[in-house]
Amino acid sequence: MLRYLTSARIGWWVLILAVAGCSHGPTATSVQPLEAYPFHQATGGIKVAVDPLFTKERARTEFPGGDAFEEQGLLPIQVMIENGSRQPIRAEREGFRLIRATGQSEAALSVQDAFSLVKPPVGWWAALPILGPSASAVRNSDWYKQFESRALKDTAIPAEGSAAGLVYFFFPESDKDLAGARVVFVLRAESGEERSFDIALQGRRDIPGQGARPVPSTPVNRPSKAPQVPTRVEGQGGAVIIRSPAP
């Protein structure tokens, strides 16, 4: 009996370690040069860019298990900051808001709130009665670390330094269009000086390939000129004078 219990316990821990080994360790989101992102702004020597993981394809590419974000109403927005000013600045989560097209304002979610909003993916081990709860705990802990490691850190960004990370917002699955939405936030310097940013977003979930696109510029309509033709004028004595149009 003792040998059976010992063998069962060893087998149980082997499976737990196997589950932990199959999980993905926390990694940071991929970052490109700031100019490569369609939504960006600069003021006071500080450059920022934002990249919403709006579609299921984008979320899946940048975040393990990101397929669930759209259905559960989670919108991660990647924020990149380049501090070209002469003093350190700080980006605090409380200073970020998402203004939807309806005018409704959404405060940025904490890592814990963002994690609680979505349902962690379930693996095959959850079907095992003896392993299910423990395996789920291991898996949930690993997935929470993904949220935590990718979040924009509330730390000072030194002069000529940079920072990047995700800011999480609630955005209902029923809304398929980002048009009219804006992300607004404030960056504060140690001196107390504030720099405000207001960046318009675009993107569609219901049209393939339209996950994020820059806001198009409004074309300027100029009135077309009527075609000019030479003018025929009758002169004295039957003479005819032809006047060409001015160039």
What are 37-54's pLDDT values in tens digits?
Answer: 889 999 999 999 999 999
Confidence of residue 35 (pLDDT cuts 50, 70, 90): confident
pLDDT at 232: 56
Q: Is the pLDDT of residue 238 over 90?
A: no
Say how far apart CA 95 and CA 48 lie, in whole Å. 14
pLDDT at 38: 85
DSSP H or E stretch at residue 132: helix 132-150
Tokens of 244: 């060409």
CB neighbourhood size of 145 (10 A): 17
Q: What's the pLDDT band for 142 if we cut at 50, 70, 90?
A: confident
- The pLDDT tens digits of the residues spanning 152-207 come to 999 999 999 999 999 999 999 999 999 999 999 999 998 889 999 999 999 998 87
Cβ neighbours of residue 4 closer than 8 Å, sequence gap 6 or more: none
Nearest 5°: phi and psi at 51? -140, 100
Mean pLDDT of 87-98: 95
Task: Kindly indicate the confidence band of residue 120, based on its pLDDT and cuts at 50, 70 and 90.
Answer: low
d(CA 231, CA 244): 6
Coil, helix or strand for 171? coil
Share of residues in the chain with pLDDT > 90 (%): 53
Give the integer Cα–Cα distance in Å for 212 and 189: 30
Q: 204 pairs with which residues across the strands?
A: 177
| Domain layout of the chain by residue ranges | 36-110+150-215
Average pLDDT over residues 52-68: 92
pLDDT at 123: 53
Average model confidence (pLDDT) across the chain: 77
Per-residue pLDDT, 193: 92
Write down the pLDDT at residue 242: 55
- Token pair, residue 55, equals 């579609």
Fold of 36-110+150-215: Immunoglobulin-like (2.60.40)
* Token output for 186: 């404030």
> What pLDDT does 225 receive?
47
- CA 140, 145, 146, 151 torsion: positive or negative? positive
pTM value > 0.85: no
pLDDT of residue 86: 93
Mean pLDDT in residue range 98-122: 90
Question: Cα(first)–Cα(last) distance of the chain, in Å?
Answer: 107
Residue 210 has pLDDT above 70, yes or no: no
